[in-house]
Chain A
């Protein structure tokens, strides 16, 4: 076979288990990192940065869960609680989830997957990281000076008129982070259009690339609307009057329209890249071609486009017109179609595959189950009548955590384990990896499944005290959260350990087919010794190619 022989020659050239001449050894010292334009190093810079924000946001979540152990509001005041859930939401959404897979894994692997030396605009890429750090500094400044209590949604007129907290600095942080996202999105779209290796046609691209292309479209077209909305909100707060101000005949619902025009598509920024990772993992660890490649690729684009016309389902109980509500409800159901296509195709890929349960695969299988629950409960809350009942309850909280934590974070962890040998040249310890994946899965379900029940029984979100009959389920949820915490701390420990002590990985420890596995680990500065040429579809997992590759490695 053409490709496999091609792959063989490349691999033989870097047969050493650890390439000494790589992007990590290319420059030493802090300066070589802070002034780097190498997409791989920038990905790692993002990894460290989002880790900081993840930890802060996780501490906020832990404090909330501890407060909710007892019905009385005894540990922290309601004001502090409001600030905690705001910080948790703002940091997790804009400073962890949105940059997680795109800016870390995307930056690292996109150019390699398409056989390029770097992204199209490497200096802009570094600049976007600096913007992100500046944005984070603004958010932390707001946090240190007392935080914000508006919730991550910044609804007017509360945020413009009544909130007694550092709204403007937090909004400014998100504004700047938005521009970082936009630059990343532009960079990815141009890179994918213009930098593909010879022979790499659109329908030969890895599905991760399709997913990140779709994500970038959302980043580019939705984020500016958030930017202008937060700017208008901030100016209104500063100036005293503005376009959302009821005094002038302004309409706060207009703010909600603008906010959700961004923030609903942003939900897909937070799940599409995860779906892309899962498509890579499922094929690799069942040693089978993806079922219905074109359908999976196009469903990413469909989700991105449909995601722009459903935002009104967040506003069913606002004073939005009932007819708009009905239209938005109907349109929301449509998103289930491409999402369903993906789940069906992943399942069909598993069917009769020779599945192995390495750590990334455990995360991938966890993703499919949890995403399905999150997606189906999404249909519940998209139903106009049901949403009136469960709106602003823990049912909604549970639903979107199944998507964002059960979906995106699982996918991020899966992808991080999968590409860790490529990033560092070393393997993480498999036993601990599997253990952490299982702890995460159990802890996650124990945390969030009770919240479906709580919400259905009527416990509203954003309260620090509650009636005693909800205590049992809240205790379960807090217990789950502490298990989930262990599931996240374990990888942090063994990843750091593996940097020095991990087994050498070699170029392709998973016997995967993507172009990124055809170069050494860690890759050289310009990724490939010679520009690779693509001659066939990306997922040539079949017995023949498998054996060839295996022999080449041995």
Chain B
């Protein structure tokens, strides 16, 4: 091994290609575990929608699809920015990379802000389970169950978004210091994570917001 490669290639690897493909594979496997992690909640949703389909459709209509839809667009756009950022990292365009990463994080923060307003609205409308939950009509218990699942799914997703924003901001700092000029893999695998978070939301939007006829 010569001096320039040892700086980049960890000692357990033979070359940078091996290191890259190992990192990518590791991240993809992690995302598969994340699918199963969300899977428990998706299962609960599936089973109860099957059992209490009518109530779920009614309850779904109490969610504000403008918030949900706008947030879908926001996350999709941040995913686009992330993809462009990975490209910039690969081409070693440092300034562009920093700007794109910051923009990605900004849209992540915008997502969380919208989500925050939406949670506030849910709270005001007494849709938070066990927290002065109110429901006009029969099947109040099953409706409460729907909102429990809604908060669990979107809450878990929000935790993932928050982690993603933090990671991307750290990446932006490191990028400004020029840490990725020979090895852009951290940007790429964080990107994979960010796109995954986007994909989860792509499923949450129709399942939670559009379950009932509007």
Contacts and interface: CB of A to CB of B under 8 A. Distances in A.
Interface of A: 116-122, 182, 185-187, 189-190, 193-195, 220-225, 227-229, 232, 235, 239-243, 245, 247-251, 254, 257-258, 526
Interface of B is mostly: helix
Nearest to B38: A228
A228 B26 contact: no
B85 to A, nearest CB: 24
Contacts of B80: none
A235 B151 CA distance: 12
B36 A232 contact: no
A240 B29 contact: no
Contact of A249 (B33, B43, B141): B141
Contacts of B132: none
A221 B145 contact: no
A145 B33 CA distance: 33
29 contacts: A118-B11, A120-B22, A120-B26, A121-B22, A122-B12, A182-B30, A193-B22, A193-B25, A195-B12, A222-B36, A224-B37, A225-B40, A227-B37, A228-B37, A228-B38, A228-B39, A228-B40, A229-B40, A232-B41, A232-B44, A243-B148, A243-B152, A248-B129, A248-B142, A251-B47, A254-B43, A254-B44, A254-B47, A258-B43
A224 B36 contact: yes
Given A241-B144, A243-B148, A190 B29 contact: yes
A248 B22 contact: no
A251 B22 CA distance: 41
Given A118-B12, A122-B12, A243-B149, A224 B34 contact: yes
Interface residues of B, number: 35
B51 interface: yes
Contacts of A248: 129, 141-142, 144-145, 148
A228 B33 CA distance: 11
Contacts of A195: 12-13, 18, 22
Contact of B130 (A116, A122, A239): A239
B47 A221 contact: no
- 9 closest Cβ pairs, A-B complex: A228-B40, A224-B37, A118-B12, A224-B36, A248-B145, A194-B22, A120-B22, A224-B33, A249-B142
Given A122-B10, A182-B33, A254-B43, 20 more contacts: A118-B11, A120-B12, A122-B12, A189-B29, A190-B22, A190-B25, A193-B25, A221-B36, A224-B34, A224-B36, A224-B40, A228-B38, A232-B40, A232-B152, A243-B44, A248-B142, A249-B141, A249-B142, A254-B44, A258-B43
A225 B29 contact: no
B21 interface: yes
Nearest to A527: B12
Nearest to A251: B47
B67 interface: no
Nearest to A118: B12
B32 interface: yes
A142 B80 CA distance: 46
B196 interface: no
B48 interface: yes
A470 to B, nearest CB: 39
Contacts of B29: 185-186, 189-190, 220
Contacts of B26: 120-121, 186-187, 190
Contacts of B21: 194
A178 to B, nearest CB: 10
Taking each of A121, A228, A232, which has the highest tally of chain B beta carbons within 10 Å of its own beta carbon? A228
B52 interface: yes
A185 B26 CA distance: 10
